[in-house]
């Protein structure tokens, strides 16, 4: 079992639908949180205890600074949750370079850079006898790429592959790297896409249920959360 109480955990994308729920659950379990998001006002609105750090993870300089600031809060870093993300809809033939770049900067490159910057601190946590982890949320599209979401699916598949390979590399260090791939979840992400309009989607999972399943996986030491790991959840009422 991984003890969350007293652990220093950085939540990136803490102001999003899943990020808020994950932050709340971690706080209830006694985590020492560093909450990060793009919006200062959004972070201020969170009813969750923890340090606030405004950061745009599409900027590699900001990513490195975020990890340093998170480490400085309590002098250690025991866990990271990458819950930040952007989405775009529409035919692949209509994708702009700006949309492609933003999708990969936020969804793929940011989690890769965060992990790279955090490995020394997480290795120290493991050496001290704790059980550090990094969790990403690639979602079901990394398993089943979706038409009219081709670039979004590709950006998520990229980070899922990165996590799978990095988990093997870091296994002997004691750092657990986990990818969560829940199906469609009823967050507000699809209401503010970078491009296009969201198609009509079936009822998704409640964010609170998905967040609880993820936190339980962290606590129980699970090493991967495929889409089937969320199959027992009940979709939100339409």
Whose CA is closest to 167, among 190, 193, 135? Answer: 135
CA atoms of 58 and 111, how far apart (whole Å): 10
Residues of 187-196 as b/e, b for ≥16 C-beta within 10 angstroms? Answer: bebbeebbbb
Q: Helices 150-170 and 97-104 meet at what angle, rounded to 10?
A: 30
Q: Helices 17-28 and 207-220 meet at what angle, rounded to 10?
A: 50
Marked catalytic residue, from 89, 104, 152, 230: 152
152 is catalytic: yes
Whose CA is closest to 149, among 205, 84, 193? Answer: 193
Give the residue ranges of DSSP H helices in 47-129: 60-74, 97-104, 110-127
Q: Which helix (H) or strand (E) holds 229?
A: none
Whose CA is closest to 181, among 202, 199, 163? Answer: 163
Query: Residue 98 region, left (φ>0) first, then alpha (ψ -120 to 50), else beta?
Result: alpha
Any idea which residues carry the catalytic annotation?
A: 152
């Amino acid at each position: 079992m991984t003890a969350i109480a007293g652990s220093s955990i950085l939540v990136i994308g803490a102001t999003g639908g899943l990020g808020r729920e994950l932050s709340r659950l971690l706080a209830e379990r006694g985590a020492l949180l560093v909450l990060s998001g793009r919006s200062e006002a959004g972070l201020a609105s969170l009813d969750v205890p923890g340090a606030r750090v405004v950061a745009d993870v599409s900027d590699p300089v900001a990513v490195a600074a975020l990890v340093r600031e998170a480490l400085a809060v309590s002098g250690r870093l025991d866990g990271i949750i990458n819950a930040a993300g952007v989405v775009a809809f529409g035919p692949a033939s209509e994708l702009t370079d700006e949309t492609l770049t933003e999708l990969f900067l936020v969804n793929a490159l940011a989690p890769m850079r965060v992990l790279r910057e955090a490995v020394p601190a997480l290795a120290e946590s493991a050496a001290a006898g704790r059980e550090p982890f990094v969790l990403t949320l690639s979602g079901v599209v990394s398993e089943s790429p979706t038409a009219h979401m081709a670039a979004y699916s590709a950006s998520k598949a990229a980070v899922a592959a990165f996590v799978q390979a990095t988990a093997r590399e870091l296994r002997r260090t004691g750092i657990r790297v986990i990818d969560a791939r829940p199906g469609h979840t009823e967050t507000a992400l699809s209401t503010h896409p970078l491009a296009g309009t969201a198609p009509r989607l079936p009822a998704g999972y409640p964010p609170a249920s998905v967040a609880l399943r993820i936190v339980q996986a962290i606590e129980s030491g699970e090493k991967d959360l495929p889409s089937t790991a969320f199959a027992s959840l009940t979709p939100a009422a339409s």
